[in-house]
Amino acid sequence: MIRILLGLSLFSILACTDRSGECPTVFFGGEIVNPTSDYVVLYRNDTYIDSAKLDTGNRFSFKLQGIEEGLYHFDHSPELQYLYLQEGDSILIRLNTMEFDESLVFSGEGSEINNFLIEMFLAHEQEEHEIYGFYHLPPMDFQKKIDSLQEKKLAHLNELITENQLSEKAIGLATASVNYQSFTHRESYPFYHKKKTGKETFPELPEEFYSYRKSVDLNNRELAYFRPYFDYVKYHFGNISYMACMKGCGGMEGKESMGRLHYNKHKLTMVDSLVSEDELRNLLFRNIAMDYLLREHSASKECQIFIEKFRKLSSSDDHKQEIDDLYEGIQNLQPNSELPELIVTNVENQEVSIKDISKKQKTVFYFWTGAQKRHLKNVTQHVAKLQKKHPEYRFVGINVKTSYTQWQNLLEEYGLDKADQFHGDDFEEIQTSMILDDLYKCVIAKDTLVVDAFASLYYSF
């Protein structure tokens, strides 16, 4: 999620007496190998808590008092990761930004729950391909596969609980990190099954397939910024809205243009009727709006109708401004528009405009990051094939979320053509100006003009 800085509001998280000396100190510190920023910044949800500057040994530390037990996240730009804190914790981390999540290890008092959370995060990433292979199965066979993965993780959690003293709140979060991943796969099953099998209708599901829904709290403020929970809620509302439209709104099949508008307005209405927790409501409204506009990616009457409904329901002025800015950005990237004034850096550390790169030739701008080696390998191999198949295009890679030095090292490691590779220093500027919502997206241009700003490396050639 794109964070919106709400400002320093420590008073909202104070959990003990005003006399801070009576509050147990929480220590959080560690070492960053190959740092990509001078700071580590700590947040509680979207609220800034504190920042710490790296010393000459790339170490940092926080000493906090009076904090509320719960989920936080720390940011070492451009990456971030979860952190669970409670009074009395003394947590050390060590990570290498070249493998940010994979290298992250917690130690010290309070490390057990944090190591479990990162372990579940990585397990989910590793299982994605395997689980995608299950979607062709009949409903109960699919459920057994997902249940088996869930039960193994819960067994691991039970061992953790037996061997360590975890608070009820920490156990609840750890359980949520397991269960909501499983629930999300169930919510997405009918759609992926239909796609993988090529069938025209959704599968008939047994009555108990969604039995877990009875235990789900759709107004859990504590989990609003926790990705497994938020992803589940997104898929849940997408599922129930689509099925409700199929049954009660004349069906959704084959009505792609107006159907998207109708469906997404229906999702907004569903959230409005079922979610009362204000912050979660606004996050969901924002997510639905961003998803709709990025899929529609056009300046249309339908988009304006949708935005009007979104603005009526959302109570967040920041989100409203963000959606307005996104729509403006989409309008600026319509075919035959001028490319944005975006500056990148070449291997000789010289600033270059993307307009100059695209002059007098067909150019495909694609994006990659050193933080995702699997993606880098895949996109490099795919671009090499496209270059042979489409020699009329110049394929230009723009690196994001990687330090300049790391980027240079990766060019050598992967044998990339340095003449066609550039480094983007300001990820947020690139994300906003090029509407970078998917690392497989690309922008096709010719002689400084946009041809297709919402193309895909895998589907547009």
Report d(CA 421, CA 428) in Å as an integer.
Answer: 19
Spell out the domain ranges in the chain: 10-107, 114-331, 343-456
The CATH architecture assigned to 343-456 reads: 3-Layer(aba) Sandwich (3.40)
The fold of 10-107 is Immunoglobulin-like (2.60.40)
Run of H or E including 102:
helix 100-103
**φ/ψ (deg, to 5) at 399:** -85, 140
Q: Are 422 and 396 in contact (CB under 8 A)?
A: yes
349: left (phi over 0), alpha (psi -120 to 50) or beta: left
Predicted pLDDT of residue 16: 52
Predicted pLDDT of residue 352: 96
Predicted pLDDT of residue 197: 94
Instruction: Using the structure block, give the residue that is written with the tokens 């819960």.
Output: 154
pTM: 0.86
The structure tokens listed for 415 are 């044998």
Predicted pLDDT of residue 20: 47
**φ/ψ (deg, to 5) at 232:** -60, -50
Strand order across the 105-109 sheet: 59-65, 25-33, 90-96, 105-109
Q: What is the pLDDT along the chain (461 residues), one digit of tens a residue?
A: 434 333 333 333 334 544 445 667 899 999 999 888 899 999 999 899 999 999 999 999 999 988 899 999 999 987 899 999 999 999 999 999 888 888 999 999 999 999 999 999 999 989 998 999 999 999 999 999 999 999 999 999 999 999 999 999 999 999 999 999 999 999 999 999 999 999 989 999 998 999 999 999 999 999 999 999 999 999 999 999 999 988 877 655 544 556 789 999 999 999 999 999 999 999 999 999 999 999 888 888 899 999 999 999 999 999 999 999 999 999 999 999 999 999 999 999 999 999 999 998 899 999 998 877 788 999 999 999 999 999 999 999 999 988 898 899 999 999 999 999 999 988 889 988 999 988 899 999 999 999 999 999 999 98
Q: Is the peptide bond before 78 cis (omega within 30 degrees of 0)?
A: yes
Alpha-carbon 307 to chain mean position: 22
- Tell how strand 351-353 and strand 343-345 pair up: antiparallel
Report d(CA 334, CA 435) in Å as an integer.
Answer: 12
Predicted pLDDT of residue 183: 98
